[in-house]
Amino acid sequence: MAYWAPKPDSQLVCESEFIVYGSYDARSKPTEVTPPGIHLAYIDVQAILAAPAEHMNINKLALKVPSPGAPVSSDMLFFQQGQQGLWFLSRTQDSAVYFTVRHPAQFKEMAIDGAELNDWKQRLSSFSCKKS
């Protein structure tokens, strides 16, 4: 059984390249050829809260996920088809086009029209992130 230390919101925001509201889609087929051993799901983006300027119109992000049938380890995270919420995504270490969720706090299940999402939208500008 894994235990996860809490992650402060400021760290969550500052470590994320993309902060988007969207739904998990494990059924889409990759549009590009994926290398052997790489398994992808997608985040169907409905709202972008933070992203590099050149990616503010993106509608789908590739999420690297555990291989189906692989042994399960305590650091793996799993999501359900259609699960909706706020995603805090960073690029994987081995690719510039795939993203990852390494901590449970990087996904917050919520409704798109709920108060929690509006609160996050308002709070994002208050975080001061120093990039090195």
pLDDT at 88: 96
pLDDT at 120: 94
Residues of the chain predicted below pLDDT 70: 1-2, 30-33, 131-132
Find the length of the chain: 132
CA distances from 123 to 21, 32, 88, 115, 127 (A): 15, 36, 14, 12, 7
Report phi then psi at 10, rounded to 5. Answer: -60, -40
> Above pLDDT 90, what percent of the chain?
52
pLDDT at 4: 78
